[in-house]
Structure 1
Amino acid sequence: MDLLLFAMLILTLSTCHTTALAEGAESQTMTVRTSPDELREIIKEAYIYGFPMVDSYRIQYSYFVDQDNPEYKGAWNEIHNMSRVFTPQDKAIQTPNSDTPYSFLGADLRAEPLVISVPEIKDRYYSLQFIDMYTHNFAYVGSRSTGTNAGNYLLAGPRWQGVVPEGITSVIHSETELAFILFRTQLFNNDDLMEVQEVQAQYTVQPLSHFKGEEPPVVPTVEFVQPLSVEEQKTSPEFFDVLGFLLQFAPPHPSERELLDRFAKVGIGAGKSLDFAALSPAERQAVREGMSDAWETFARYKAEVIDTGKISSADGFGSREFLGNDYLLRMSSAVLGIYGNSKEEANYPAYFTDSEGKPLDGSSNRYTLHFEADKLPPVNSFWSLTMYELPASLLTENPINRYLINSSMVPDLVKGSDGGITLYIQNDSPGTEREANWLPAPAGPFFMVLREYWPQPEALDGSWKTPDLVRTTTSLPPQ
């Protein structure tokens, strides 16, 4: 399909209801061609498949569409830099890091590609993580992946077939028309913030036409539908309306045609709307139960597979090829830590339980984590241990405004007589002499993530083991 024809097609979809789909699509209501039992099963499958897309859209809508949202960053196709790290006030993204000031780019590739330029960066880690609408990590630019030299990277949508001009370092293809690029720039300490801002100011983006000095094509307009809140996503049948809207910008992948045909049996697909009120009572009940089944399936998977370590974060984030269309794994990763890096870029061992297998809770328990001398996490860049309160999976408020302990802090940590480092994870202060090693926990359930940026092989092959988190309820061990 040539660009002009594609633009004309998109223009027919450019005016949308605020709660449904593109104009004209509301007539494509759900026609059930199956029994309630099969409807329930298909609803479960479609929910698991679509959850990462719908939840990612919730975030990107707050960042690039809803100007009244406190999380709003700015327009699509512009880079928006944060001059600080994340705090508990940043609530859109679950389990955010608080190590690297972020820059954000919401890429709308419907009209033409974008050219993203980065400067030479030799003195600190940086990365650009390219995420499609499915939440696949489809490309990287940065210290590990492309090196320290400056470059111009052309980001193209699935239908672009133009000529690559001179001056382009490489071409990156997205299989969806909308994409999300997360920039991470390493911050060494608070005194380093101005240097990070200088690096961020050198990240640029421009339309390909501007890079070539040509007139830009007409950008097709679209009125984005209203997203669902985190809680609404769990029970509202409008979930499938949002999914239908998003699938309009995601051309079917060859590996999913049979699955999408199965969804179409109950009217779920690009441009389709679920007229829930028009369904029979048995069909409405099947939809509700199918959505509930999806969450029950996730809960069992988390308890039996993720919490037990059978699958780690290293298995849960990556390209379509890496994930192998494992939709339950993709949903689980989105629920627990959406936009996680691929394991080559960052590994995320997590602490959900203590050494005895009991859930973590700071209301009555205190914990220690001991790193032996010369056995800190093996990384080429840096590591951090970050605290998250549950059930929100967000950074937690505390009296010293410390949300993590990372490798930049090691020189200031108190070392034991063996040269090792003991971290104190608890709600109350462990005492003045140990406060340098204190990671405050909430007075309730929590989990922690050990981030390993640009991990060395032993961090990935299991030869380096994460230390046990030991519960100490009556007394603290000697330093």
Structure 2
Amino acid sequence: MFSRRKLLQSAACIAANGVARSSLAFAESARPGLIKAAEIAEAGLIYGLPMVMNYAVMYDFVINKKSGQYKGPFNQIVNEARVFTYKDTSVPTPNSDTPYSMLWLDLRAEPIVVSVPAIDPKRYYSVMLCDGNTYNYGYIGSRATGSDAGDYLVAGPNWNGPTPPGIKKVFRSGTQFSLALFRTQLFDPEDMENVKKVQAGYKAQPLSAYLKQPAPAGTGPIAFPKIDKKLAKTNFFEYLDFALQFAPAQPNEIEIRENLASIGIGPGKTFDFKELSLKDKLELAAGMKLGELKLEEAVKKAGVDINGWRVTSAGGDSAFFNGVWLQRAVIAKAGIYANDAEEAMYPFTRNDSDGQPLDGSKNKYTITFPPDQLPPVNAFWSITMYNGKTQLLIKNPIDRYLINSPMLPKMKKNADGSLTIYIQHASPGADKESNWLPAPAGPIYMVLRLYWPKEPPASSILPPGKGTWQPPGIKRV
């Protein structure tokens, strides 16, 4: 672990590359001391990382039309009649099981009504409502609301009004910008036309249009700041400063917000790192470095180690995280927009069953599910392969990014009824290729997804880390 002294010295090198002006430096009489400011910056990075990550995704998907990842404007559902591939680079650890439909919501002027069609109960679907804090504040779908058609109202934090006739449920976002992420199960490649029909039934409209009333006065344009991976690191607190103006403080955020305000970050503060004095840059850079180290360590230790897999609770709402900002940041870092545990579980690993790092350039691996011990789910399960450095899907010769339960009829079982999956960079041979999960020629990161996991007393991965079902370890060949 780095000492604060060494981190301050390191940060001085970073700060020296900036413009050492002090026109916006904090008043010496009001600002916290060197160590205190660094502590606030450390906590601020951990607190704010999910919000900045979310803003970066939103910027690529709905604001920057030249991003290469642009989907469409706010308040308009964009259906992806495909699964994610290695070409999708905005979201780390993307799901390649379920074609996505995305609806980025601007709730400043009025609520949005989200409508879903009646869907075959055999086809799993979910609509996860996730705000700018990365809190999952509600669900529509197979588990949460069933397979019947329905109209649901999504409102911003400042809206007050009665529940309109015909609305089944009102969901309240904690921020003025929000995401409705639709996941629709794809059974196999030939099933895509059926998925398209389901997606065509997803609708979104302003409340005024739903009620056939005049629309309220519009909201003014916003100068969304450009963001990319490099800028997110160098200007982190500027992006957090921007995001906070659309996220009213909740009761458990008051203390951290007050601390951030004391170093010039928060609604109305117009934070600008370039304008800070060298001393102020030092403090913030040192604190951010400490925050990064703490987060990296926490991600490695998240959850419980079971046969080399890390099994932990996934996403949740504000009450679930209850002000434990490190837990929220770990979830965002491991895979932003993760479902609640009841909706999906995500054991992940970088190690084999002996605790050694997975590396496709050095080893071949297998994972074997004993007879009748496949992941226990109400919907379906999958194992997805990622580049261990980027946590993105990898290009491979058979365009296969995962093995999932709908593929089972085409896979080969062992004589005893067990199922072995071959995890390696090169093909294991034509006779085994049906069970091959292509790996990168380098570090490996894998996620086992269990959609709508079964609950006790049945065999279950729930409660997280304590369930009766455990994922089998990955063995070196």
TM-score (norm 2): 0.90
Distance 2:311 2:415 in 1: 34
Distance 1:421 1:225 in 2: 50
Distance 2:446 2:256 in 1: 36
Equivalent positions of 1:212-227 (< 5 A) are 212-227=211-226
**Is the deviation greater in 93-102 or in 301-310?**
301-310
Q: What is the percentage of aligned positions where both structures have the same residue?
A: 45
Tell me how far 1:307 sits from its aligned partner.
Answer: 7.9
Tell me how far 1:280 sits from its aligned partner.
Answer: 3.2
Q: Would the aligned equivalents of 2:238 and 2:273 in 1 still touch at CA under 8 Å? A: no
Q: Secondary structure at the match of 2:338?
A: coil
Distance 2:67 2:331 in 1: 25
Q: Would the aligned equivalents of 1:30 and 1:268 in 2 still touch at CA under 8 Å? A: no
Distance 1:180 1:43 in 2: 27
Partner of 2:114: 116
- 5+ long unaligned stretches in structure 1: 1-26, 473-479
Q: Would the aligned equivalents of 2:174 and 2:248 in 1 still touch at CA under 8 Å? A: yes
Residue 379 in 1 paired to residue 359 in 2? Answer: no
Residue 254 in 1 paired to residue 259 in 2? Answer: no
Equivalent positions of 1:228-377 (< 5 A) are 228-234=227-233, 236=234, 238-306=235-303, 308=305, 314-377=312-375
Distance 2:310 2:106 in 1: 32
Which residue identity does 2:124 align to in structure 1? Y
Distance 1:317 1:94 in 2: 15
Shift in CA distance, 192/311, structure 1 to aligned 2, threshold 3 Å? closer
Shift in CA distance, 282/295, structure 1 to aligned 2, threshold 3 Å? same
Q: Secondary structure at the match of 2:239?
A: helix
- 1:459 maps to which of 458, 461, 464: 461
Which residue identity does 1:280 align to in structure 2? S
Distance 2:305 2:288 in 1: 25
Q: Would the aligned equivalents of 2:425 and 2:439 in 1 still touch at CA under 8 Å? A: yes
Equivalent positions of 1:41-56 (< 5 A) are 41-56=39-54
Shift in CA distance, 125/271, structure 1 to aligned 2, threshold 3 Å? same
Q: Would the aligned equivalents of 1:133 and 1:176 in 2 still touch at CA under 8 Å? A: yes
Distance 1:172 1:125 in 2: 21
- 5+ long unaligned stretches in structure 2: 1-22
**How many residues matched?**
444
Tell me how far 1:197 sits from its aligned partner.
Answer: 0.2
Tell me how far 1:361 sits from its aligned partner.
Answer: 0.5
Distance 1:248 1:145 in 2: 31
Which residue identity does 1:74 align to in structure 2? G
Distance 2:231 2:286 in 1: 15
Equivalent positions of 1:1-20 (< 5 A) are none
- 1:420 maps to which of 396, 418, 421: 418
Distance 1:107 1:274 in 2: 26
Distance 2:275 2:454 in 1: 56
Residue 205 in 1 paired to residue 204 in 2? Answer: yes
Q: Secondary structure at the match of 1:180?
A: strand
Tell me how far 1:254 sits from its aligned partner.
Answer: 1.5
Residues 212-241 of structure 1, C-alpha deviations (whole Å, 9 max, x = no match): 11110122123242243223323x1x2111
Q: Would the aligned equivalents of 1:117 and 1:203 in 2 still touch at CA under 8 Å? A: yes
Tell me how far 1:351 sits from its aligned partner.
Answer: 2.0
Q: Would the aligned equivalents of 1:78 and 1:205 in 2 still touch at CA under 8 Å? A: yes
Q: Would the aligned equivalents of 1:138 and 1:318 in 2 still touch at CA under 8 Å? A: yes
Q: Would the aligned equivalents of 1:227 and 1:242 in 2 still touch at CA under 8 Å? A: no
Residues 294-349 of structure 1, C-alpha deviations (whole Å, 9 max, x = no match): 11111222234458469956424111111122111111111120001111000011
Partner of 2:189: 190
Which residue identity does 1:267 align to in structure 2? G
Residue 179 in 1 paired to residue 183 in 2? Answer: no
Q: Would the aligned equivalents of 1:36 and 1:286 in 2 still touch at CA under 8 Å? A: yes
Q: Would the aligned equivalents of 2:309 and 2:473 in 1 still touch at CA under 8 Å? A: no
Distance 1:428 1:251 in 2: 51
Partner of 2:473: 468
Q: Would the aligned equivalents of 1:379 and 1:459 in 2 still touch at CA under 8 Å? A: no
Partner of 1:5: none
Q: Would the aligned equivalents of 1:368 and 1:425 in 2 still touch at CA under 8 Å? A: yes
Distance 2:393 2:303 in 1: 21
Q: Would the aligned equivalents of 2:299 and 2:333 in 1 still touch at CA under 8 Å? A: no
Q: Secondary structure at the match of 1:221?
A: coil
**Is the deviation greater in 350-359 or in 214-223?**
214-223
Shift in CA distance, 400/373, structure 1 to aligned 2, threshold 3 Å? same
